[in-house]
Structure 1
Amino acid sequence: MLRFFRQIRQRLLTDNKFSKYLLYAVGEILLVVIGILIALQVDNWNENRKALAQENELLEEVQEGLISDLNLINLCISDHEQFIRSQDFIVQWIDQKLPYRDSLIPHFKHTFWTKLFSVKDAPYETLKVFGIQNLSNKELGHQISNLYDVVYEDLFYWQNEQKNNSLHFRNTHDQIGFEFLPDFGDGSLQLDLRPVNPKALQYNKAYLLNLKMTRGTLSIFNMQLKEARSQIKRTIEMIESELSAI
């Protein structure tokens, strides 16, 4: 091909057709420029395709992590609702000065029990290295950032509050007068509680106050879990929509 163009140039110069040669030279330069631009465009297209493939892979990993978070958060909410029911049951037993029954034993355990939530954030950290601002869908990027950096932060604040309150409440049980009972037949775990003096416990104002404080923070913590669950579901749906649109 180059030899063909060289022959044309030589023929034009030999025939003393300088103006035509000049036009030809300009045309040849334009062809070279167009070729370079096409090559750059193809290179950019390939790079964009690679970046999009990497973005999709990262979004899929984030989605998998959020599905894991969602499963755990559902377990936490379910357990906490059971714990709150137990706490309300004990409060009612105290307020109404009802007779003691051994059926209360499992409920006492739930007065300070908390199921903790841990986020699977490794995919999000990888996505931050890629650059959330580089995501094609800016709204999705904002949603992901808000979930991990705002919603989860609020959630963990109340989780720590509940954990500290529960630990403090748990540490008062030895002073108040509780005995720990095995809740498995082999006696390997002693988590069930029974008050040594149930009647005295019903008049222990400090115990009732600590119980209500623990219940209050657990309720707020559970509300934060439900808000996080809602945002997780929304984020999963947005990722699913983004991946299916490609």
Structure 2
Amino acid sequence: MKRIFETLSKKWPEYVLEVLVITIGILGAFALNNWNEERKEKILERNLLSEVRGGLKQDMKGIDRMLEFQKLINTSQNILIEWLGSEQAYNDTLSTHIHQSLYYSSYQAHEGPYETLKQFGMHKIRNDTIRRQIGLLYEVVYPEYYSLLAMYQHNLDKMGPYIEDHLLEINYREAIRITDVEKMKADPKLRFMIGSLQNIGESNPFGNTPWVKNQIERTLELLERELE
């Protein structure tokens, strides 16, 4: 026992140094592991946000294309309404406007990046403002927008069969032929239905789209600042 104490008294600095080296090594490895995990989490977060940003940029382009198509539809509906109330004879140009009056400008956001984000967990987004804004856009704004656009589709579905009763057939390769022009012009319900559809088209999507675009732009602005 005496020899043990003598050995310890002589070599204790070596033992202390050895313990210190081991402790520092363990703590260093732990810190390095934490740093590496945090780095991977930041890379994942950045990739997720970049995907959402890319999807939103495509959404903006899609909305603009949809609006241009809806303008074409509304113009044709206006021309058709004016013709119904006029003495103008039926012609092939009106056939085109009948076709276009029955078109539907659909829209669907690119929700794949958001679904991927949800699979990893919204908590991966550390910025509370961005996380709330993304959730608001995809969980509130987009669903509400779809429901408003569905109102137009619903009324179009009601008008389509009714206007078809006045047509011999719908042929997208040739001019539409009307069974009885005078009867069609004298039909107040037809004019009402086309006018109502045109008014709904002015409200949905035209009236509500600026609100949706504003929310997309706000989300993109936040993402751009975060990713710069």
Coarse TM-score class (shorter-chain normalised):
0.7 to 0.9
SS in 2 for 1:113: coil
**3-state SS of 2:109 partner:** coil
Match of 2:9 in 1: 13
Match of 1:3 in 2: none
Letter in 1 for 2:216: I
Aligned length: 221
Give 5+ residue unaligned stretches, structure 2. none
In the alignment, the residues of structure 1 paired with residue 22 and residue 222 of structure 2 have an alpha-carbon distance, to the nearest angstrom, of 45
Q: Aligned-pair RMSD on alpha carbons?
A: 2.8
Aligned to 1:5: none
Q: Which amino acid is 1:136 matched to?
A: R
- Contact kept? 2:166, 2:180, Cα under 8 Å: no
* Structure 1 Cα separation of the partners of residues 50 and 71 of structure 2: 32
CA–CA separation in structure 2 for the residues paired with 1:69 and 1:34: 52
5 Å-filtered alignment, 1:13-162, equals 13-14=9-10, 35-95=25-85, 97-102=86-91, 103-162=93-152
Q: Percent identity at matched positions?
A: 25
Is contact 1:66-1:120 (8 Å) kept?
yes
TM-score (norm 2): 0.82
The answer to whether structure 1 residue 210 and structure 2 residue 200 are counterparts is no
How much has 1:101 moved relative to structure 2?
4.2
Q: Secondary structure at the match of 2:165?
A: helix
**Which residue identity does 1:43 align to in structure 2?**
N
Is 1:198 aligned to 2:164, yes or no? no
CA deviation vs aligned residue, 1:36-95 (integer Å, no higher than 9, x gap): 444332221111110110111112222222222222221111010121122122223334
Query: Are the equivalent residues in 2 in contact too, given 1:154–1:224 (CA < 8 A)?
Result: no
Counterpart amino acid of 1:206?
K
1:239 maps to 2:226: no
Whole-angstrom distance in 1 between the partners of 2:209 and 2:195:
20
The Cα shift of 1:231 comes to 2.3
Distance 1:114 1:153 in 2: 18
Aligned-partner residue type, residue 132 of structure 1: M
Q: Secondary structure at the match of 1:120?
A: coil
Contact 1:111 1:214 in 2 (8 A): no
How far off is 1:208 after superposition?
A: 1.4
Alpha-carbon contact 1:55-1:135 (below 8 Å) kept: yes
- Give the Cα separation in 1 of the matches to 2:29 and 2:10: 34
